[in-house]
Amino acid sequence: MKRLLLVSLLAFGLVAGCRSSGAPTTTTSATPSSSAPTIARGTETPAPEVQPTAEDATRLIALQGANNVRDLGGLQGKKAIPKDRVIRTADLSRMTETDRTTLAQHEVKLDLDLRTHAEVGRAPDPLAKDPRFKYVNISLLGDAPLKLEQFPTLGDLYVHALAENQQQWKQVFQTLAAQTDGAVLYHCTAGKDRTGMVTAILLELAGVDRDAIIHNYAISASYLHDQTREFLAKNPKIAHIAGTPPVAMATFLDTLDKQYGGARAFLVKVGITDAEITALSHRLGQST
């Protein structure tokens, strides 16, 4: 039964994995909520789903075969993040040829797949064989199963990821920094957990307001509503890891700031160089 539960979680997009090392696989081919909740860790109680605003809708990239595809362009850091620089999304395995052309029109050059090897095997990313894109797979949370019962909330899982997956964080941000042209796209399966954490670090690095970072995370639940409803109909006992409660991202940001000194300090800790951080800032439109 536990094995079946793990398979279900992987299919939905919450990776239950952690590895200490591993090289990436490479082929070439808002207006935020005005009052983000402050809730203690371990108390992620059900809350109303956060709805996207009209401004959020301007960042949505409509694809026929993928959900939760959003440009970070327009979010306000020290300066506004430019469009067609950084794109977050969910699983791309059902993309059409038209979808791939749309991403090319958005200047996507790098497709960074944050899923496990097992997830990639079940649902291959079609951009991996498209010569218009460079494809890199780095399993952000690794491939060895975790004991999910030790994580009563998503926030607890996210905090664990900061502490235990630092080699993978290094690989992810080195890969993003090394791509100097076009747009970078990154994704997991649901585009909410691994993708949400990477997004939060990028946005904090850019100087985006905390409430706006939480809002950008929380609206994923709205874009994934039908997918989540179908999943929970089959797995009602694990509703606590299916959504995007604002408190989960608040917990992540609290830990990132208080324990690691913020996004930049965390990146330095895991081995990202000053030059690489400058490259990331440039991509985010924050360089002088």
What is the maximal distance between C-alpha atoms in the chain?
Answer: 55
* Residues facing 266 on adjacent strands: none
Q: How far apart are alpha carbons 80 and 74 in whole angstroms? A: 5
Catalytic residue at 18? Answer: no
Q: How is residue 94 annotated by DSSP?
A: T
Given a contact cutoff of 8 angstroms between Cβ atoms, the answer to whether 112 and 186 are in contact is yes
* Residues facing 186 on adjacent strands: 88, 112
- SS3 of 124, please? coil
Q: How is residue 149 annotated by DSSP?
A: G
Marked catalytic residue, from 176, 188, 203, 250: 188
- SS3 of 168, please? helix
Q: How far apart are alpha carbons 201 and 130 in whole angstroms? A: 29
Distances in Å between the Cα of 19 and the Cα atoms of 143, 165, 167 are: 6, 7, 9
Q: Please list the active-site residues.
A: 188
